[in-house]
Amino acid sequence: MNNEEHEKHDEYCTCGCNEHSYEEVLTIIDENGNKTDCYPLGVFDMDEKEYIALAYNIDTDDEDMFIFRYLENEEGIELDNIDNEEEYAKAYELFNKIMEEAIEEFGDELL
């Protein structure tokens, strides 16, 4: 990847260069008002929509992960729940495939 291509990447990409900071925390507030701090793992496209994968806790081996529809507008970031189980499963599988391919290509540097 050349420098010009890399400049298009941000802290959410899964390019594997290992130069991104995952220090940003997104706080999710559920329908009951409970707050959960999450760490962005990656933004990806599927079926002409953007999605984001968020981890509960990046410092543990816990595999708990959220997938949301991801929208960026002038007011900031908007996350939309995926109520359709088939769509959620498809997005979850796609993100796992993206990560597996990145690990194959970049090895442990990615982790």
In the prediction, which pLDDT does 8 show? 52
* Pick from 64, 35, 66: nearest CA to 52: 66
Beta strand residue intervals within 1-111, DSSP E? 26-29, 35-46, 49-55, 65-73, 76-80
Write out the H or E segment, with its range, that includes residue 99: helix 85-106
Kindly tell me if the per-residue pLDDT of 38 is higher than 70.
yes
The residues with which 24 forms a beta bridge, in sequence order, are none
For 45-99, the pLDDT digits (tens) are 999 999 999 987 655 555 678 899 999 989 888 899 999 999 999 999 999 999 8
Amino acid at 43: V
| CB neighbourhood size of 1 (10 A) | 10
For 3-24, the pLDDT digits (tens) are 444 455 555 455 555 454 446 7
